[in-house]
Amino acid sequence: MQIQEEVLQVLLIGIANGAIIALIALGYTLVYGIIELINFAHGEVFMIGTMAALTIVTWVPSLFGVKQAFTLPGPIVALIVLGSLVAAMVTCALLNVVVERVAYRRLRAAPKLAPLISAIGVSFVLVNVGLLWKGPSQLNFPDLLPQVDIFRDWLGINTLVLFTFKDLLAIVIAVPLMLGLHLFVQHTRLGKAMRATAQDRDAASMMGIDINLTIALTFLLGGALAGAAGAINGLYNNSAWAFQGFRGGLYAFTAAVMGGIGNLRGAYIGGMAIGIVAAISDRVIDARWTQVVVFGLLILVLIFKPTGILGEETTERA
């Protein structure tokens, strides 16, 4: 493999993984932006998303009387993939709203440590929900996506760079979601209400914005994105595990902090950066060292630019 090919390969892997990380990171940053809470339960919401997708992917084929989904005709498989994505998004969106209502809303005026501890509590609860639901072992998430090497099979380019349909799908699902969120927050009435509430909650309420509703909406969106990440994660990595939320959450949290927590563009950039750094580390150093590299990077960011890459724009109160 030539050096350019190596670089391209690492970048492609990094971007595909980074897309998943960025989707989760957005949930951290959205919630932090509006109520200044690090939602430690968010990684677990992501895990529940994978479980919800797994349920669809195994349950629907059983309706057709088959054990393995990929034996079904292509369009049905595509619908199952889409269905698992939607199911994961809806489940996690609603779950996140319930979590906010039950565990955070009453603590909104409390000292910041209280909702943080509550978030850790929710995280434990959700891990145990995952354990009860799907058991403690790592599960196989059925491989539903066609094994296509895009460069060779579709584009006819003779290269050693491997970019599969799976990689493409991760990007094709994640990027429009991120773009959609961006447009929603920038241009819609409710999106603007979210920004106003994030900047100054009291002033927003005095302008007629329903704060509780706006915060619930923020959790809804963050949950939906975590659900999408969960579904993509299952389809992409072909595994599901009740404990997967810890690592997924920690990577995404690192991405959010690196980009500048509270800043949406920071989450996209941070997610991609972590994805690419992890891919480089996997390739150049060793996959076993990747977590060390990622968290080492987090420490460096916290020391030299604690506000993150785009960190100026975090919440300030007049």
Partner 1 sequence: MSAPAVTTPAAPRRAASESPLALELRDVHTYYGHIHALKGVSLNVQHGEIVTLIGANGAGKTTTLRTISGVLHPRQGEVLLQGDRIDKLAPHQIVLRGVCQSPEGRRIFSRMTVRENLEMGAFARRDAGAIAADFDRVLALFPRLKERLAQKGGTLSGGEQQMLAIGRALMSSPRVLLLDEPSMGLAPMLVETIFTTIVEINRQGVTVLLVEQNALMALNVASRGYVLETGRIVLGGPAQELQRNEQVQKSYLGIE
Q: How far is the CB of 116 from partner 1 (least distance, A)?
A: 21
Beta bridge partners of 287: none
Q: Does 318 bind partner 1 (CB under 8 A)?
A: yes
Question: End-to-end distance of the chain based on CA atoms, in angstroms?
Answer: 56
Q: Which is nearer to partner 1, 214 or 290 (CB)?
A: 214
204, 221, 224, 298: which one binds partner 1 (CB under 8 A) = 204
Q: Does 152 bind partner 1 (CB under 8 A)?
A: no
Q: Does 265 bind partner 1 (CB under 8 A)?
A: no
101, 105, 108, 195: which one binds partner 1 (CB under 8 A) = 195
DSSP 136: S
Q: Closest by alpha carbon to 238, among 135, 139, 150? A: 139
Q: Which is nearer to partner 1, 213 or 287 (CB)?
A: 213
Q: Which is nearer to partner 1, 68 or 212 (CB)?
A: 212
Q: Does 196 bind partner 1 (CB under 8 A)?
A: yes
Q: How far is the CB of 212 from partner 1 (least distance, A)?
A: 8
Alpha carbons 22 and 225: distance in angstroms, whole number: 9
Q: Closest by alpha carbon to 185, among 174, 200, 195, 197? A: 195
* Identity of the amino acid at 66: V
| φ and ψ at residue 240, rounded to 5 degrees | -140, 140
Tokens encoding 109: 């005026």
Region of 37-45, 114-122, 148-156, 191-199 interacting with partner 1 (CB under 8 A): 191-199
| φ and ψ at residue 137, rounded to 5 degrees | -90, 160
Alpha carbons 32 and 261: distance in angstroms, whole number: 7
65, 189, 303, 304: which one binds partner 1 (CB under 8 A) = 189
DSSP 70: G
Q: Does 209 bind partner 1 (CB under 8 A)?
A: yes
Q: How far is the CB of 246 from partner 1 (least distance, A)?
A: 33
Contact 13, 163 (CB under 8 A): no
10, 47, 85, 193: which one binds partner 1 (CB under 8 A) = 193
Distances in whole angstroms, Cα of residue 270 to Cα of each of 11, 226, 258: 14, 16, 5
Q: Which is nearer to partner 1, 189 or 288 (CB)?
A: 189
Region of 13-21, 59-67, 90-98, 200-208 interacting with partner 1 (CB under 8 A): 200-208
Q: Which is nearer to partner 1, 74 or 208 (CB)?
A: 208
Q: Does 200 bind partner 1 (CB under 8 A)?
A: yes
Q: Which is nearer to partner 1, 101 or 192 (CB)?
A: 192
Distances in whole angstroms, Cα of residue 121 to Cα of each of 51, 116, 117, 272: 20, 9, 6, 29
| The residue to which tokens 């099979």 are assigned | 153
Q: How far is the CB of 22 from partner 1 (least distance, A)?
A: 22
Q: Does 207 bind partner 1 (CB under 8 A)?
A: yes
Binding site for partner 1 (CB under 8 A): 189, 192-193, 195-196, 199-200, 202-212, 313, 316, 318
